[in-house]
Amino acid sequence: MREFALIDRLSQRLANRRADTRLGIGDDGALVAPSAGQELAITTDTLIAGRHFPVDTSAFDIGYKALAVNLSDLAAMGADPAWVTIALAAPELNAGWCDALLDGALAAIGDASVDIVGGDTTRGELSLTITAIGCLPAGAALRRSGARVGDLIAVTGTLGDAAYGLQCWPTRDNATRDQQFFIDRLARPQWRPGAALRGLVNAAIDISDGLAADLEHVLSASEVGARLDIDTLPTSESMMRSCDRETRLGLQWSGGDDYELCVTLNEAQLDRARAAIDCPLTVIGEIEAEIGLRAFDRHGVRWNSDKARGWDHFA
């Protein structure tokens, strides 16, 4: 299939949902008109076959994950997702494969008011670059630099499942129920509605490179430290059945690909935040004045985390 035939094919499936989308796919650029008093949050991620997803990942799952990880970035900023562009590099353009890719992208968007307004295609090794744009009231963004001494540290969902999913990937044709759960968490991460936490939390980040690595970004930006209770890290039932304690903690500490939110907030806001986010929000520690990230078990013994570090693209 040729490039412009593909664009026409996909355009027929994409009806704009938003009144502030003035012009979508079909011109040299998109036109959008955010409301007065709004700021735009903009994020871009590139996913490359063999590095960010296994080379034999289905087109549906590639499309799903590519959208979800970008929408998760907007969630961490407290933005309502609004617009997306998709740039695809592929060895060839196959109509059925591209349809499945779009199916996955639309499934990740779900009922959210998000328009796909443009993109690009080129021949090359398989990769996908997504730019996602969200809206939020001016001055209301959640940032990494807002953590305060005494804040609770909390995370949504459960941790470590996607990292274990990568280990389970070779079993996918004959996976057990638990293995399939982990594989699905890797392939189809669930982005959280972070916009619901505006005004309730002081700092936020999404967990893409591992809890420790991403929380350290918050600590650095906020010039504070943290003490974590390693035994409070939220754990799925499948993880409890499948891994011993040290394996589990290593995956949860540094495995990455969770795309859950890690936030800091005043204890007085905890119940409101839990009600607003409409998913589990587990307290795992507290912000301290002493610089650095420290983890202790339920007995107060410091946990050795030196061997468990987060993802670094250039390490």
Whether 119 has a binding-site annotation, put simply, is yes
Contact present, 98 and 59 (Cβ < 8 Å): yes
Cα–Cα separations (whole angstroms), residue 256 to 75, 100, 162, 166: 17, 26, 7, 10
Residue 129: name the closest of 71, 45, 6, 65 by CA.
Answer: 45
Whether 209 has a binding-site annotation, put simply, is yes
Place of tokens 């700092």: 203
Instruction: Report how far Cα 198 is from the mean position of its chain's Cα atoms.
Output: 17
Whether 257 has a binding-site annotation, put simply, is yes
What is the side-by-side strand order in the sheet with 80-90? 38-48, 127-137, 80-90, 115-123
Contact present, 125 and 55 (Cβ < 8 Å): no
Q: Of all helices (H) and strands (E), which one includes residue 5?
A: helix 3-11
- 25 pairs with which residues across the strands? 27
Place of tokens 């955010």: 34
Token couple for 189: 């991460």
Whether 311 has a binding-site annotation, put simply, is yes
Contact present, 187 and 65 (Cβ < 8 Å): yes
Rounded-to-integer distance, Cα 139 and Cα 264, Å: 18
Token couple for 119: 């993109």
Token couple for 314: 């250039």
Rounded-to-integer distance, Cα 145 and Cα 27, Å: 39
Q: Which residues are annotated as a binding site for ATP?
A: 119-120, 144, 208
Q: Which residues are annotated as a binding site?
A: 28, 43-45, 52, 73, 119-120, 144, 206, 208-209, 257, 311
Q: Which residues are annotated as a binding site for substrate?
A: 52, 257, 311
Q: Which residues are annotated as a binding site for Mg(2+)?
A: 28, 43-45, 73, 120, 206, 209
